Amino acid sequence: MLLKTESNMNFLITVFIAIMLMLSMNVSGQRIRFNNPIAEKRADPWVYKTDDGMYYLIATVPEYDRIVIRKAPTINDLGAAKEKIVWNKHAIGNLAANIWAPELHKIDGVWYIYFAAGTSEDAFDIRMWVLSNGSASAMEGEWKEEGRIVTKMESFSLDATVFEHKGKRYLLWAQNVFEEGHGTGLVLSEMKSPTELMGPEVIITKPDFNWEKVKYHVNEGPAVLMKNGKIFVTYSASATNHNYCVGLLWIDESEDILDVSNWHKSPGPVFYTNADFMRFGPGHNCFTTSQHGETVMIYHARDYKEIQGHELDDPNRATRARAVKWTPSGFPDFMQKIGD
């Protein structure tokens, strides 16, 4: 009888340990489930998570005429959150066309929106602009136009993102860096203030590989991810149809990030179309964290391949979310062969 009791106890202990391990995995290592798409007809998404755990979503609208923000306590809740228009394009002159790729950042207690805009005379004469708001919530208060971010090269520029490293703030953006023709590379510079650059402006990548040159020569939409002693930068390449895809740069965090020779580049895309999951032209992503601290990639894609007319006239790039895992060598694994 005693032996049977001890056997039962051992069995119960084993079951208990197994349950605890599964619960632990559910908290720290589960495959997060998202209600995709998070937002229909929202491209170039950017999600900002506040210190108190609230999520803001800002993205390009298909009419290219305004900037909208929504706020929710979880990533999934962003889908049903009420959207607010915080700024509208101008009728004429600057800031009057192609309002693209807004990003929301909070710097020294002030909200900033970095975005791209063309003119009423030329919709593709695009430059980077900034709005600011000193309210506690980005959904409240008045957004002030801070003007244009002036770069040393006077050319097509967009997709600005901001990050801090070793006590300094940097701007990373896409710009036409070719003396002849058109194509965008990624440019990096230290910031004097949230609206001004200082020092050298370094081109850290241009389209080198064939997969970056389908229809257009494009490196754009940079997003910064810092982990495991490295700074990773994802970016998007090629035309914004099913050929759109995500590339990867990286550098050791101890290296000089303004020295282009310290940067490394993946020879192939790390995330791209997978028809098995109805995922076409994924790109222009950002990174955030889930409620449990897992790395999450927010990006846009279509659920069909064939587009009628020009890809920029198709409104159905939708905001999606997926977990990012990590390889034993400390690199992000975008799980190309797995659904969201």
Name every residue whose Cβ is closer than 8 Å to that of residue 3 and which is 6 or more positions away in sequence. Answer: none
To which residue do tokens 């009057």 refer?
96
For β-strands 280-289 and 43-49, DSSP reports them as: unpaired
Closest to 43 in 3D by CA, of 91, 102, 106: 102
Is 201 one of the catalytic residues? no
Other CB atoms within 10 A of residue 133 CB: 21
DSSP secondary structure code for residue 274 in this structure? B
State how far the Cα of 264 lies from the Cα of 246, in Å rounded to an integer: 15
DSSP string covering 215-253, please? Answer: SS-BEEEEEEEEETTEEEEEEEES-SSTT-EEEEEEEET
**Which listed residue (201, 220, 314, 340) is catalytic?**
220
Is 220 one of the catalytic residues? yes
Asked if 70 contacts 46 with a C-beta cutoff of 8 angstroms, the reply is no
Closest to 103 in 3D by CA, of 154, 171, 164: 171
**Which listed residue (44, 212, 314, 340) is catalytic?**
44
To which residue do tokens 């929301």 refer?
104
Q: Show which residues are catalytic.
A: 44, 220
